[in-house]
Amino acid sequence: MRNSQLFFTSRRFTRRATLSLFGVGVLTTVLAACRQSPATNTAQTITPTTPSAQPTAGPSGGTLTPTASPTAVRAYRVETVVSELELGSHRVRTFTYNGQLPGPELRVREGEALRVVVDNRLPEPTTIHWHGIPVPNAMDGVPDVTQPAIAPGTQFTYEFVVPVAGTYFYHTHVGLQLDRGLYGALIVEPRQETLSYDREVTLVLDDWLDGIAGTPEDALRQLVGAGHGDHGMGQNTMPMTPGMGTMPGMGTMPGMGTMPGMAGGSPQELTPDLVYPLYLINGRSVDAPFEFAGKRGELLRLRLINAASATIFRVALVGHRLRLVQVDGQPIEPLEGDALRIGMGERYDVLVQLDNPGVWPLVAWAEGTDATALAVLRYEGSSGSLSPVTTRPSELAGELLHGLRVRSANAESAPFTPDLELPVVLSGGMGQYVWTIDGQAYPNAEPIRVKLGQRVRFRLQNMTTMPHPMHLHGHFFRVGQSPQGALRDTVLIDPMQEVTIDWVADNPGHWAFHCHHLYHQETGMMRIIEVS
Ligand SMILES: [Cu+2]
C-alpha cells in the first residue's frame, strides 16, 4: 500500500533544496503521527507518495469530473486526532491533523490530482474543505450540503484535479472545529513558475483559545450570553467588545464606496469580537517563535495564510519592505509597502529583498488588540538574539497593503455584464449575536438560486459595525466592478462598506457563501448558492 505510507521531512527545506532532495531520494522517514501523544509543533512538510502515471479512479465520495487529464496523483493520508500540544507555557488538548500544528503542508502541482484519505480518529464528525480551490461539488467538504460529515472511526477519500496554482489552505468545515487545530497549508506549484525568488517560507497565522480560555463552544456561549445579560457561565476569561451592534435606524450607508473610490482610504483599526490569549505563527507562540533563515542578497517569498477564526492581522517584517505579488493565490500587479492587512481566510504572497542582515521579528499584530503573533527571520551568519519586540513596530504605521488596493495581473478585456445582479445585505450585531445575510440566519435560510453559466454580480453591503471576510466556495470572483479587479475567493468588507463581486457560475452544485469569521458563520452568516 504505497499510498498509505506517510513521509515527512524532519525540517523545513527551501523550495530549491526540497526539489533537489526529492531528486536523490534523501528523506527522513517517520511513522504516521501517534494518537494522543505530545506532538511536535514545528511546521513540517509531508511529501506525497510517488506520483502515479495512471489516470485516477473516482473517489469514494462522489463523481470526479476533472477539467484536464491529470498527469499524476499526489496522494496523502491525514488523520484527524486528539492531540496534546505545548503552546508556550501552556499544554493543551485539542484536535489536529496528524498531531501537528498546523497540519502537514500539502503540496501538489497545478493540473495534477490531489488525493487525500482522511481517517477520522476524533470523537466527533469532521470534513475537510479545500479553501479557494474550485473543486467538484462533492469534494468541497461542507457537511450536510456536499457530503455527510465523516463519522468517527471512518474514512473518506477526497480526490480532485487541482486547476489553479497558488497559496491555499485546507480546514475543517464542521461547527467550531476550525478554532481548534484543524487547518494546514495547501500549496499548488504552477506548471511554470513566473515569479523569481530564491527561497520560500509558509507562515500560517492563527488565534488560539482552546484549552487555555475554555473551548470554542465556551467562547460562543459567552458571545451569545453577553447579549442576553447572562454572564453566569464558566470562566470569564474572554474579554469582549462591549455593546457593539447594528446601528438602530440605519437605513443608508454613509461613506460607503466601491473601488476605485475606496482604494485610497486606509482601513480602520477595529476591535474584534474576541481577544484571544495566544496568537500563533506556524503553531508557535511569541515565547517560542517559529524561526526561518535568510541569506543576504536573496529574494525571499513569504506565503501568508490567515487561518484564524476571528482575527484580522497586520503583518510587518521589521527592517524590510514587502512586495505583494499574489492574493488568494492569484497574480496581481505588484504593490510595495511596509505592512499588510490580512483577514480570515485570505492569503497574501510577498517577496522580500534580503538586504539587511541580522535577526528580525516578523510581527502579526492582532488588529484592535495589544497582542501579536511572532516569527523570526535570522540571516545566515547572524548569531545575535532578537531585539526586544514591540507589538506595534514602526512599519505598521507605514504604507499599508490591503485588499481593496489590489489590481489583478490578468485583467478582463471588457467590463463585466451581469445576467443577475443582487444586493446582499450583511446584518447583525454583538447584542443578540445573530449574524444574517439578507435578514436570514443559516440554517434557517433560503438558498440563492443561480443558473449554470450565469454571470452574477453581488453588491455586498455591510450594515454592521464589524468587518466580515466573505468567502465563496467553488469559484473565484472579481472585486470592485472593474476589469482590473483582483480575482479572489475571500474579500474583507469593513463596517458600513459596500463591495461588489462579479463571478461566473460555472461550477454546478450547492456552494457555501459565508463570513469567514467562524463565530459569525456559526450564528447565521452563511447561505447556500445553488448553481444548476
Ligand atoms: Cu462576519
Out of 193, 220, 254, a domain closes at 193
Ligand 1 center–CA 426 separation, angstroms: 8
Residue 360 has pLDDT above 60, yes or no: yes
- Could you give the CA distance from residue 485 to residue 407 in angstroms, rounded to a whole number? 5
Query: What residues make up the domain containing 359?
Result: 278-405
Residues 319 and 448 reside in one and the same domain: no
Ligand 1 center–CA 384 separation, angstroms: 42
Q: How far is CA 229 from the centre of its chain?
A: 33
Out of 380, 405, 430, a domain closes at 405
Number of structural domains in the chain: 3
Higher per-residue pLDDT: 6 or 76: 76
Report the pLDDT averaged over residues 472-498. Answer: 96
Ligand 1 center–CA 472 separation, angstroms: 13
Q: By mean pLDDT, which of 40-54, 130-144, 290-304, 450-464 is the weakest?
A: 40-54
Residues 445 and 366 reside in one and the same domain: no
Residues 34 and 141 reside in one and the same domain: yes
Residue 375 has pLDDT above 70, yes or no: yes
Residues 43 and 188 reside in one and the same domain: yes
Residue 104 has pLDDT above 70, yes or no: yes
Out of 135, 158, 193, a domain closes at 193
Residue 490 has pLDDT above 50, yes or no: yes
Residue 127 has pLDDT above 80, yes or no: yes
Residues 288 and 376 reside in one and the same domain: yes
- Could you give the CA distance from residue 321 to residue 339 in angstroms, rounded to a whole number? 8
- Could you give the CA distance from residue 486 to residue 286 in angstroms, rounded to a whole number? 33
Report the pLDDT averaged over residues 173-184. Answer: 98
Residues 8 and 147 reside in one and the same domain: yes
* 210 assigned to some structural domain: no
Residues 385 and 464 reside in one and the same domain: no
* 226 assigned to some structural domain: no
Which residues keep their CB under 5 angstroms from ion ligand 1?
A: 468, 515, 517, 520
* 241 assigned to some structural domain: no
Condensed to tens digits (0 to 9), the pLDDT of residues 376-423 reads 999 999 988 887 777 789 999 999 999 989 999 999 999 999 999 999
CATH number at residue 329: 2.60.40.420
Ligand 1 center–CA 171 separation, angstroms: 18
Residues 425 and 398 reside in one and the same domain: no
Residues 331 and 376 reside in one and the same domain: yes
Q: What is the ipTM of this complex?
A: 0.86
Residues 498 and 436 reside in one and the same domain: yes
Ligand 1 center–CA 270 separation, angstroms: 13
**Residues 465, 470, 473, CA angle at the centre, nearest 5°?**
165
* 215 assigned to some structural domain: no
Ligand 1 center–CA 461 separation, angstroms: 12
Ligand 1 center–CA 368 separation, angstroms: 16
Report the pLDDT averaged over residues 515-532. Answer: 98
- Could you give the CA distance from residue 293 to residue 311 in angstroms, rounded to a whole number? 27
Three cell numbers written together for 150: 465523516
Condensed to tens digits (0 to 9), the pLDDT of residues 184-214 reads 999 999 999 999 999 999 999 999 999 999 9
* 439 assigned to some structural domain: yes
Cβ-in-10-Å burial (0-12, 13-18, 19+) of 237 comes to middle
Residue 3 has pLDDT above 80, yes or no: no
* 235 assigned to some structural domain: no
Higher per-residue pLDDT: 111 or 266: 111
Residues 25 and 79 reside in one and the same domain: yes
* 266 assigned to some structural domain: no
Q: What confidence score (pLDDT) does residue 48 get?
A: 52
Residue 80 has pLDDT above 50, yes or no: yes
Residues 368 and 477 reside in one and the same domain: no
pLDDT band for 437, please (50, 70, 90 cuts). very high
Ligand 1 center–CA 464 separation, angstroms: 9
Report the pLDDT averaged over residues 115-137. Answer: 98
Q: What confidence score (pLDDT) does residue 228 get?
A: 55
How many residues are given for the chain?
A: 532
Higher per-residue pLDDT: 275 or 236: 275
Q: By mean pLDDT, which of 36-45, 214-223, 392-401 is the weakest?
A: 36-45
From edge to edge, which strands make up the β-sheet containing 90-97? 90-97, 73-87, 113-120, 155-161
* 480 assigned to some structural domain: yes
